[in-house]
Structure formats: structure tokens, C-alpha cells
Amino acid sequence: MAAAAAPAATRTAVQYDSVGAGAALRVVPDAPVPPRKQGQVLVENKAAGVNPIDYKLRVGFGNRIAQALAGPKLPAIPGGDVAGVVLAADEGSTFKQGDRVMALLQNFVGGYASKVVVPESWLARIPDSLSFEQAAAMPLAALTAWQARTLELARVKAGDRVLVHAGSGGMGTFAIQLAKERGAVVATTCSAHNAEFVKELGADEVCDYAAEAFEQKWAANPFDAVLDTIVLKGYEQRSLQVLKRSGTYVHFMPAPTFGMIAKGFLRGALGLGPRYRVVLVQPNGKQLSQIAALVAEGKVRPVIARTLPLAQAAEAQEAIAKGHTRGKIVLTI
């Protein structure tokens, strides 16, 4: 039998060459494929999820210090969510050629490309019931929600009252479903237009943020945990008003608000306020596999707002930057 052809040494990718408001995305048809090392898997990428962090890193995430610490090396290929087919892996690997897989990439870069190299420990198999586009909508948002609800952060357990902000967004849709899967009573904020939608996902109580202040609506019925995907615009302080002293506030890090975080941690440590935690999502194939199992059981589902071809990545990022999308935007490759 003839040996299998070696994977192509180039790939199609979308990248940016500078950081700032004017930094443009461009398609590179012959970008190099990073060499696969031991313990890594080469994946033919079929779809890439689009997240707010993608455009934030491109235009400059926070101040110069934050950019120096967290900013990608230029030129950079954005994207943390990938879903595709295994092209090559180590002998004896858990994954073999042809397996359908998904992953979150470290530092949220590298995903807008037709081929990606991924450490085996970051990968999870895609449930048979999901398309590549649905799978690509999962890793960052689902893992963030999963890691936020854990014992180390929100400590969500059956019977807890949990408030999820922006429940109809990419992160919120998973946060609602995963908190509900733990047996929590889930409340969320969203627009009136999305009220029935979030109830379908499992929300028990809904506040239309445009018509009513959530801190007034739930003043007499506080929460055990708040999963705050918004944080800014006063959401952090308002959320603390409806959180039990014994509860936990989880900051989803939409911006590097280090002063706010330090103050929150200190107050919690001194017993002057509830526990204060920040979720800094990390790639984790085992956890992603556990979420995939819930998807296969019909307990959790990804929500896609729209799909666009890779060449329209700039349009996808513009839509995400405007906000108010129901679920995730996904690029097809």
C-alpha cells in the first residue's frame, strides 16, 4: 500500500500585522503550517468560533502593560475555537487520522486557519450529533462557563441561586445550561426579545435589563453566585448588591480591570464582602470531553447566531464587537 501523502506545508489563514484601532485582518493563502512536535496533533480545521477576545487582542486589550503581557506575537492569527479532522498524530496517540475533534487554543490565537497544531491534551472528540460549526461554537464559551461553576470558583451546587448576566450571549448560553445541569435555580439578564429563548435554555427567572434594574428586582432574594460576563458599566457593583455575604462573585475578565479585581479579592479575604474570583479559562481536553458528553445526552447545546466564510472574518468580528448576538458567530473553513 502506498504511503499516505504528507500534509501540505502551507495553509490558508487570516492574520493581522499590527495592533490598534486601524489594524486590519487579511487573508494569507500560503501561510506556513507550524511543525508538529511530539505530543501534538495536526488538525485540518473546518470551523472556527469567533469571540470578543479575538477583536480585543487585535485592537489592543487594555493598557500597554496588559498588551505586553497578554498580547500575541505579530503577525498574529486570531481565534481560540477550532473544530476539524485529525491529519496526523503520534503513534499510540488517543487520536487517529480521521477523528473529528475540537479544542480551545492557548492565548486565543491560531484558530482562523485551515490547519492547526494542537497539544493532544487540549483535544476532545466531537459528538456525532454535532456539525463542525456547532462544535466550533463550544470550546472557549463552554470551558469558561464550566471552569467558572467549579468548586474552586463559583462552587455551584444543587439548590443554589445563580445569576448569569447576558444569558443570550455566547458565554451566557452555556453558563445557564451548565448551572442548570448542576441543579441550580438560574436567573439571568437579557433583552425582552430574548426572554423566551433563555427560558428554553433553562433560566427560571429573567430580568429585562432595559425595563428593570436587576438589583432592585432581586434585592429581597439574593444569590449564592453571580457569573458576570459583563462586569463593566456598573454591573460588578450592582451584582454585589444582590449577592449573599456567603456567596461568590465570578469576574469573567471582559477587560483587564486589575484595580477592580484587587479590591474585590481584598474585601473578600478580609470578610468585608463575598468571595471574589476571576475565571481565566485554560485549554482542557478532559473538561471539554465532559461537556461533549452532556451535549450527546441532550443536556447542553451550542447556539449559533450565524456562520460566515473565513474570508469574512472582519465582518464577523465587527458583529461580535457590536454585541447583542444570540449565541456564537462561527467561521466556516
Select from 254, 248, 252, 260 the least CA-distant residue to 279: 252
Q: Which residue, among 196, 4, 168, has the nearest Cα to 96 in the 3D structure?
A: 4
- pLDDT confidence of 3, banded at 50, 70, 90? very low
For the chain, give the percent of residues with pLDDT over 70: 92
Q: Is the pLDDT reported for residue 235 higher than 70?
A: yes
Distance separating alpha carbons of residues 326 and 306, to the nearest angstrom: 9
Q: What is the pLDDT of residues 92-123, one digit of tens each?
A: 999 999 999 999 999 999 999 999 999 999 99
Q: Is the dihedral of CA 90, 94, 97, 101 positive or negative?
A: negative
SS3 category, 232: coil
Query: ∠ CA 51-53-58 to the nearest 5 degrees?
Result: 115
138 pLDDT exceeds 90? Answer: yes
pLDDT per position as a tens digit, 64-91: 545 555 568 899 999 999 999 999 999 9
Q: What pLDDT sits at residue 246?
A: 93
| CA-angle at 270, arms to 268 and 275, nearest 5° | 15
Beta-carbon contacts of residue 13 (< 8 Å; ≥ 6 apart): 27, 28, 31, 77, 112, 113, 114
Please state the φ and ψ torsions of residue 89, each to the nearest 5 degrees: -150, 170
Could you give all domains of the chain from N- to C-terminal order, each with its CATH number? 10-138+303-332 (3.90.180.10), 142-278 (3.40.50.720)
H helix and E strand count, the chain = 11, 15
Span 10-68, pLDDT tens digits: 999 999 999 887 679 999 999 999 999 999 999 999 999 999 999 999 988 655 545 55
pLDDT at 295 over 80: yes
